[in-house]
Amino acid sequence: MVYDLLCSNPLSLIGYLLLLISILSLWIKQDIKVWGVIAIFSMVCGVISDRIAVTGIVSIVILGLLYYTVNRIDLKLSVRAIVSVLAIILSVLLAAHIIPGFNNWKILDNVSLSEISQPYSMYLNMDKTFVGLIILGLGFPLVKNLKEWVFVLRSALPIFLMGLIVLACISPTFNYIRWDLKFPNLVFVWALNNLFFTCVSEEAFFRGFLQRNLSKRLRGYKYGNILSLISVSFLFGFAHFAGGFKYVVLAAAAGIVYGYAYQKTQRIEASILCHFGVNIIHFIFFTYPALANT
C-alpha cells in the first residue's frame, strides 16, 4: 500500500529523494554548491507537485540566512544571541509544522501496526528536514573518513546499549510499550524516513546546535557540560508533548542518551545513530508508537 502510494506521485517522490540525496551528500562533500543545488531541485519538484509553496521557500531561505549569520565568527555577542534566538524560533515553528507553505506527504493514515498498538500516521516532512539540512550543511563538522567512523561506532555502541537497557526497563513501568515482534513490509520506507527526515533533523537541532552552543557558553563552569546535557534533554522531551506526559518523560530520558553520545564523542553521527537505533528497535520489537489505551 505504501509503495503503491509513493509510485502514484512520481514527482513528489523525486522531490523527497533529492532531499535525501542532499543530506547524504554532506558526508561526501560538505559544500553548499553541492547540497544546496540538490536541495533547490528538491524544492522545484516540491513546488510543481504542490508539496511546498512560495511562503515555504521564503521561510527556508530566511532560516539559511539566520544560521549562516550565527556561524560568522566576527559577530558581537548581543547580535549573535538575537540571531540565534530567531533561528531557534523559526526552526521550532518549521519542525512543528506551524509555518504555512508546506503540504507534507502523508503516506500512512491512522494505521495500527499490531492489535495492541496505537494507530499511527506517517508523514514525509520537508519543513522539519530542511532545518537539519541547513544546520549541518553550513559548516558543521562531520565525519569524513573510515578512521573517524570506526571511532564513532566504537564510542557510541556502549552508550547506545546501556541507554537501550535503561529505556527498555523504564518504558514498561509506564505501561507505554510491550513486547510486539513484527517486521511489516513498510519497514524500509519507515527506516529511511526516520533516519534522514527525523533523527538527522532532531539531532542537528538539539545536539548540533542547542547542546553544542550551550556547552560552549557554560564551558567555564564546573558542571557546565552536565547542565547543558540535562537542559537540552528536557527540551527534547518537552518537544514530544503531543504524545502525552509519559512520552515526554521517556523522550527526555532518551535525550540524555543521545546527548551523552554527542558529548562523549563530539560527533553528531554518534547521537544520530543512537537515536535511530533506539527508534528502530522500538519499531520492530515493541508496540509502536505505543501500547493501545495508554
The C-alpha cell at 256 is 540524555
The C-alpha cell at 275 is 537515536
Query: Would you state the pLDDT for residue 34?
Result: 97
User: Roughly how many angstroms between the first and final C-alpha of the chain, as a whole number?
Assistant: 28
What pLDDT, in 10s, does the model give residues 161-209?
999 999 999 998 888 999 999 999 999 999 999 999 999 999 999 999 9
**Which residue shows C-alpha cell 547521537?**
271
Report the SS3 class of residue 137: helix
271 and 170 Cβ atoms separated by less than 8 Å = no
Query: Would you state the pLDDT for residue 77?
Result: 85
What are the residues whose beta carbons fall under 8 Å from the beta carbon of 25, sequence distance 6 or more? 34, 35, 38
**Which residue shows C-alpha cell 537539519?**
132
pLDDT at 13 over 80: yes
Cα three-residue angle 70-47-187, rounded to 5 degrees: 85
pTM: 0.96
195 and 202 Cβ atoms separated by less than 8 Å = no
pLDDT at 261 over 90: yes
Q: Annotate 100-121 with b (16+ C-beta within 10 A) or e (fewer).
A: ebbbbbebbeeeebbeebbebe
pLDDT interval class at 294 (50, 70, 90): low
pLDDT interval class at 8 (50, 70, 90): confident
What pLDDT, in 10s, does the model give residues 70-94?
988 788 889 999 999 999 999 999 9
pLDDT at 151 over 90: yes
